[in-house]
Structure 1
Amino acid sequence: MGSAADGVEQLRSGLVEPAIALGWQVAVTLTPNAGRWLRANGELDRLETLTGLPVRDSPRLPAEPRPHPVATCYVVAPATANYVAKLATGIADNQALTQVSEGIGTLGVPVVLFPRINAAHARHPAWKQHIGALSAAGVHLVHGPDVWPLHEPREGPAAQPLPWRAILTSLPGGGRTGS
């Protein structure tokens, strides 16, 4: 899963290719805006070619077959503050939120989430409750100053790479085995 935050354009090279190299079957679902971004730069087509599956950014029609296999793990990277807030409060108004919301409630299905936020997002009075709710639900949050130092809005490094290695090692088996 990916949402429309800086770094989503690195999803293929940062997460999908390494996960496939580890033996994982990867299916990609994006928020509608992330889908629009990756469609515009050709990255959506590259993801589909690499995974052999369609990238989802909208729900299927009831008569259409399910395009992805049953998930054994969900990884959301990057997750915007908006995505985190909606997920924590149970709002599932797009395909990417619906799938992960279901994953949180599915026994034995790990959910890993990297919130790609800035210092202002973290100071919002609701942020701690959102993170607390997701943690209480068993979501493994990849965050903290050692993983993603927070900067003031528009003051961080222009090309701060996402912590793909930390995200990969948060996967079941530490990213070492596939399923």
Structure 2
Amino acid sequence: MLGVVGSAAGGVEALRTGLVEPAIDRGWQVAVTLTPTAGQWLRLTGEAERLEEATGLPVRYEPRLPGDARPHPQVDCYVVAPASANTVAKLAMGLMDNQALTQVGEAIGTLSLPVVVFPRVNAAHARHPAWEHHIEALRSGGVRVVDEPDVWPLYEPREAPAGRDLPWDAVLDAVEASAK
């Protein structure tokens, strides 16, 4: 079971076709959780419903009430893609202020539960003085961060080539390598 967590970053609109359906094709059962803003975006476009159809499971973006059954089976690996700079910072600092961050934050603290994060950031985000500390904090917690320059070259804000797809195959390859 692959827990896919999407945040409000460019590319989340292609989560189903870029990550979820290819993961299913590779043999994964997939459960999707979204940050609140990503959940709003994908509900408004009808994409949340298409994700539910593809996975056979509800898309989570709100916490469940006490006593409610868990809507997703136990996860064997989490992947956070795309991860906004905000999501990366919160995960690194242990801030779990929404359903998506709570799940992944708990997973980071769980021994032998792989977590893969793809930061969907630009060069300005990566130059922020706290950025390297955030990445190091995640790595020290055992998180596989997909941030290789040949996989996702960083551009200055608003200078990236138009129509650039996220490196979904590289993210899935990292998931498969981490889940072995």
Runs of 5+ consecutive residues of structure 1 not aligned to the other structure: none
Runs of 5+ consecutive residues of structure 2 not aligned to the other structure: none
- Does residue 92 (structure 1) correspond to residue 92 (structure 2)? The answer is no
| Kept in 2: contact 1:168–1:174 (CA 8 A) | no
Segments ≥4 residues shifted beyond 6 Å = none
The offset of 1:62, in angstroms, is 0.5
What TM-score, normalized to structure 1?
0.95
Partner deviation per Cα, 1:68-117 (whole Å, 9 max, x = no partner): 00111000000000000000000000011000000011111100000000
The offset of 1:174, in angstroms, is 7.1
- Does residue 34 (structure 1) correspond to residue 34 (structure 2)? The answer is no
In the alignment, the residues of structure 2 paired with residue 173 and residue 24 of structure 1 have an alpha-carbon distance, to the nearest angstrom, of 14
- Does residue 80 (structure 1) correspond to residue 84 (structure 2)? The answer is yes
What letter corresponds to residue 43 of structure 2 in structure 1?
A: R
What TM-score, normalized to structure 2?
0.95
Q: Which structure has greater strand proportion?
A: 2
Quote the residue 2:48 is aligned against. 44
RMSD: 1.2
Quote the residue 1:60 is aligned against. 64
Instruction: Using the aligned pairs only, state the percent identity.
Output: 67
| Kept in 2: contact 1:2–1:77 (CA 8 A) | yes
The offset of 1:173, in angstroms, is 4.4
Quote the residue 1:11 is aligned against. 15
Quote the residue 2:147 is aligned against. 143
Residues paired across the two proteins, number: 176
In the alignment, the residues of structure 2 paired with residue 25 and residue 36 of structure 1 have an alpha-carbon distance, to the nearest angstrom, of 24
Partner deviation per Cα, 1:43-87 (whole Å, 9 max, x = no partner): 100000111100000100012100000111000000000000000
| Kept in 1: contact 2:6–2:38 (CA 8 A) | yes
